[in-house]
């Protein structure tokens, strides 16, 4: 089972700080660097723990420009090859009516129709304009061709459905928990302040409805999700997953992923390399299963049990026979190098002649047989890979 996360914080950050709109407050300016570092750490964490990240994009794909700066074009290509990258071009909108008019609902819905909001190629082209070092025309065409098929557009019915659901929730009294009073104030007569809160509710529900339709989870923190039971379970899955890994990192005595991000040399290069390995894929499957709220498991116990109870393939009856055949087929000369015992064929000349084949065979045995199958898999294998990321680079690293 794959685990795909919907991530809107990068888009929100870009729209707030890069697009001319409402004036930034002193608090906004003071928090810019903190928010930027937080988002970079969250992206790093998402790359480690989720199979696919779906970035929300409102019109011009400014998040793409920031991702290119963070990951490089090579990193973007890696994510594309792993089917790990998607963009949702956000077309649905909900708005509040300024005046209260008899017979007119206070919240209305619509769909954006401009080319930037509906055409992936236009969104990409405008997004690339935000790069400080802009690619030439040929490179832009190449990038556009790669990225346009990664776009997803929400259903046109989504915003109206969100408005209808919010109206129904208000009229049934399910929103009274959040300071509304449906018995005292009819839906069409709510105050301006209540409209603002109800619009927030509808906007959050709109985003969540989209996530449900695409089988996504999220870190969104919305108090209005609470009146939908499914929302509580679905939204909690992302936080359960990161919280579970934080508990594991506590056991293993190293920082959580967001903290680790700032301690790693070339963090995105390294996490992109790690996440593509079989161990990382297997770990994501394991974490997805064990951090599901429905299973009601305690991740600390599950992790320790998985380490203590691990049993390698070569310890099984079938595995013992497979090991015998595999080692025999490698050849006695290479077998001698691995096991440290005399082979049936020896001699410096033979070893010298066989060097290219020996190096290749030893790599395969170490990676697929001796390192993996003999020890058996446990989630600690991935944790060890993550731990190694913080090691200082060798002197010849650039």
For each of the chain's 398 residues, which pLDDT tens digit applies?
Answer: 568 889 999 999 999 999 877 789 999 999 999 999 999 999 999 999 999 999 999 999 999 999 999 999 999 999 999 999 999 999 999 999 887 777 788 999 999 999 999 999 999 999 999 998 888 889 899 999 999 999 999 999 999 998 998 899 899 888 887 789 999 999 999 999 999 999 988 888 888 888 878 877 765 544 444 544 444 444 455 566 677 777 888 877 777 888 889 888 889 999 999 998 888 888 888 888 877 666 656 777 887 777 766 554 444 555 555 445 444 444 444 334 334 434 334 334 433 443 444 433 434 443 333 444 444 678 888 888 888 887 765 555 44
At residue 57, the 3 state secondary structure works out as: strand
Which pLDDT score, from 0 to 100, does residue 349 have?
42
Q: How far apart are CA 210 and CA 201, in angstroms?
A: 14
Of the candidates 22, 13, 35, the residue with the CA atom closest to the CA atom of residue 130:
13
Reported as half-sphere exposure (CB side, CA atoms, 13 A), residue 241 has a value of 27
Q: 233 in the Ramachandran plot: left (φ > 0), alpha (ψ -120 to 50) or beta?
A: alpha
Contact 247, 304 (CB under 8 A): no
Which pLDDT score, from 0 to 100, does residue 286 have?
86
Q: How far apart are CA 140 and CA 281, in angstroms?
A: 32
Of the candidates 63, 67, 22, the residue with the CA atom closest to the CA atom of residue 44:
67
Q: How far apart are CA 222 and CA 217, in angstroms?
A: 13
Which letter does DSSP use for residue 188 in this model? G
Q: Name the phi and psi angles at 106, rounded to 5.
A: -70, -20
What pTM was estimated for this model as a whole?
Answer: 0.74
Reported as half-sphere exposure (CB side, CA atoms, 13 A), residue 320 has a value of 3
Which pLDDT score, from 0 to 100, does residue 357 have?
42
Which pLDDT score, from 0 to 100, does residue 56 have?
96
Q: How far apart are CA 92 and CA 90, in angstroms?
A: 6
Which pLDDT score, from 0 to 100, does residue 185 have?
93
Number of neighbours of residue 378 by Cβ within 10 angstroms: 23
Which pLDDT score, from 0 to 100, does residue 360 have?
37
Q: How far apart are CA 148 and CA 80, in angstroms?
A: 11
Q: Residues for the chain: how many in total?
A: 398
Q: Starting from the edge strand earliest in sequence, which strands make up the sheet with 52-57, in order? A: 151-152, 85-89, 52-57, 4-7, 217-218
């Amino acid at each position: 089972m794959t685990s795909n996360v919907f991530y809107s914080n990068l888009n929100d950050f870009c729209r707030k700080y890069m697009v001319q709109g409402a004036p930034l407050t002193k608090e906004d300016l003071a928090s810019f660097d903190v928010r930027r570092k937080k988002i970079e750490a969250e992206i790093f964490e998402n790359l480690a723990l989720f199979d696919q990240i779906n970035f929300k994009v409102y019109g011009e794909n400014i998040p793409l420009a920031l991702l290119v700066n963070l990951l490089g074009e090579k990193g973007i290509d890696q994510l594309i090859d792993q089917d790990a990258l998607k963009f949702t071009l956000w077309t649905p909108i909900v708005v509040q009516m300024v005046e209260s008019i008899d017979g007119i609902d206070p919240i209305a819905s619509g769909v954006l129709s401009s080319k930037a909001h509906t055409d992936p190629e236009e969104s990409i082209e405008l997004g690339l304009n935000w790069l400080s070092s802009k690619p030439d025309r040929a490179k832009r065409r190449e990038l556009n061709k790669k990225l346009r098929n990664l776009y997803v557009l929400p259903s046109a019915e989504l915003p109206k459905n969100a408005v209808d659901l919010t109206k129904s929730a208000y009229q049934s009294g399910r929103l009274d928990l959040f300071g509304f009073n449906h018995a005292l104030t009819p839906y069409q007569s709510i105050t301006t302040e209540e409209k603002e809160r109800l619009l927030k509710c509808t906007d959050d529900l709109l985003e969540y409805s989209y996530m449900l339709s695409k089988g996504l989870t999220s870190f969104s923190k919305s108090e209005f999700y609470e009146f939908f039971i499914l929302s509580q379970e679905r939204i909690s899955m992302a936080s359960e997953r990161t919280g579970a890994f934080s508990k594991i990192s506590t056991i293993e005595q190293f920082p959580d992923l967001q903290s680790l991000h700032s301690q790693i040399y070339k963090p995105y290069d390294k996490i992109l390399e790690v996440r593509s390995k079989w161990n990382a894929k297997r770990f994501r499957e394991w974490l997805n299963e064990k951090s599901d709220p429905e299973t009601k498991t305690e991740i600390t116990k599950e992790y320790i049990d998985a380490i203590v109870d691990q049993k390698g393939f070569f310890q099984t009856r079938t595995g013992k026979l497979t090991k015998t055949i595999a080692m025999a087929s490698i050849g006695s000369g290479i077998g001698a190098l691995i096991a440290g015992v005399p082979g049936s064929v020896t001699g410096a000349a033979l070893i010298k002649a066989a060097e290219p084949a020996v190096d290749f065979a030893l790599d395969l045995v170490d990676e697929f047989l001796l390192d993996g199958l003999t020890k058996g898999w446990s989630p600690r294998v991935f944790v060890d890979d993550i731990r190694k990321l913080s090691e200082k680079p060798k002197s010849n690293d650039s």
